[in-house]
Structure 1
């Protein structure tokens, strides 16, 4: 559910190809890029968040394989324009953008890989268009349930501590807790989205939760002097993230609920860390059990970050095995 699988890390401009934009829709110009083997099996990579951006790291899992990877920045995210726009931005629209990109590229089928929030988006896409899937790879999945977000935000007050709460203020501290506890009646979402202090505190808390065991294991506490700067990119990311949180993570989007009915023989892999405090490992276990034929890999002691030294090699190995199975099934 975190902004990118490594919270606080922004998209380096030179990290991915220059890419291109889809034709504007609903006031959004959606960015995408591709690499790898142009003649290889196409794999769409769906970033996390909401409010994240495409990164180079997942593309490197497929180095040397006959695969054509494709990355897309969701509406309001990364290089998509305008940054932080929430009008015309919901889960159904994200699915439409993915399908528009498939058709724009003239692809009959492709495989889809999504992590964290991106796994929710990938599952919703698979539920709506199962016939176009070569395979499905899910990293540290998030399904958008109230139980998941309440688990995530539980250490918020301890993390703030007396110093952080004094700096942020009681109304803002309460509003953030309400946002993740599915209590929209307590929210003034527009004010929250524009509040630089909330954005900075959220980013640092999300970072702390993404370490193995999260705040409860590390004992991390808010240090107002060390919080990240309120850059335009951070504010855009927070606006999109808060927008989706207040909308129950796209619960109303058609085809977004439940486990997709995939065609027989479609390769599925689910990989997650056993010490993930951001996205509940119990959800990943249940999802892996519910997806027919899914290969699962729970990595002991690993947290949420893709760069976790325990999780990173497991992700690469699982992704490469999955990609080769997708090619064999196609």
Structure 2
């Protein structure tokens, strides 16, 4: 394992745009070894877009990593679009990308919402999945979603008060609904109000995640991208990601019996650890490994080391049986 512990950043071997219908064009990066173990890495959000960081968990000499910006996210176009953008569309897109690249099966690696999408993909197309590595899994339940936006446990009361102050008093009981409506509305003021809301959401997410120290607030094009990200995210969360009928947890017993590992930080306040326990309990062949610290940050040293160790072990044995720090 490299000392970093991440592998060095490498440029994709091939990047391309793939039209998937209704005006959506996906951005896809094909990275690593052309003859390596095929893996697809699924970013979080929904709507966050990919990051080179997510590829650095993989040994580029042993893995062929396919990184996809999901509909409306990252470099896919049109960014921030919510029409024809539901979980079922993303599942169809995964099949299109895999067939376009001529990949029969791949290891599916996802974090947060990406872990949720990985589970849905394995249920939708089980024959395509060789294994599942799920970091900080998110379960789209009404109580979990409400807890993120309403802070009933008082985890960061001052920060939540500042966040909620942007909504009219009569809408503060439903911050998600308020944000979704506001971010979807026509930007009559040139988008200034939407940028204000996105920035407030960003500050609230940082506070809930336990971020410490000063950080430069996004502005300019970065803030515009944040508006688009949260537009997609609120669209998905408002509909429980279309995974509640029947609930995703109730379907997990039907997952293919492939190597399945969950990694979750005990101090994650974005995706509560209980979610990982609930998922693992419903997948008899799965393994859950707790990471002591790091919250929801994929780059936290303990989580990064666990991800690299898990993937190095899979590269050696096609299983997740090895030791993980």
Matches within 5 A, 1:1-330: 19-153=15-149, 154=151, 155=155, 157-161=157-161, 164=162, 168-171=165-168, 175=171, 178-180=174-176, 184=177, 187=178, 189-193=180-184, 195-211=194-210, 227-229=217-219, 231-251=223-243, 258-259=251-252, 261-264=254-257, 266-326=258-318
Give aligned pairs, total: 297
Separation in structure 2 between the aligned mates of residue 174 and residue 29 of structure 1, nearest angstrom: 39
* Structure 2 contact 259–320 (Cα < 8 Å) conserved: no
Q: For the structure 1 residues 15 and 79, does the alpha-carbon distance in structure 2 shift closer, same or farther, using more than 3 Å as the test?
A: farther
Unaligned runs of at least 5 residues, structure 1: 1-13
Deviation at 1:165, TM superposition (A): 5.8
Deviation at 1:311, TM superposition (A): 1.8
Deviation at 1:291, TM superposition (A): 1.7
Q: For the structure 1 residues 165 and 45, does the alpha-carbon distance in structure 2 shift closer, same or farther, using more than 3 Å as the test?
A: closer
Unaligned runs of at least 5 residues, structure 2: 1-9, 188-193
Q: For the structure 1 residues 34 and 263, does the alpha-carbon distance in structure 2 shift closer, same or farther, using more than 3 Å as the test?
A: same
Q: Which residue of 2 aligns with 1:9?
A: none
Q: Tell me the C-alpha RMSD between the 2 structures.
A: 3.0
* Structure 2 contact 15–30 (Cα < 8 Å) conserved: yes
- What per-residue deviation string (whole Å, max 9, x for no partner) do you get for residues 172-230 of structure 1? x77575144xxx5xx4733244522111110121122223xx7xxx7x9xx9x974326
- What per-residue deviation string (whole Å, max 9, x for no partner) do you get for residues 254-312 of structure 1? 99563152333x11110010000000101112212322322221111330001112222
Structure with higher RCO (Cα < 8 A, 6+ apart): 1
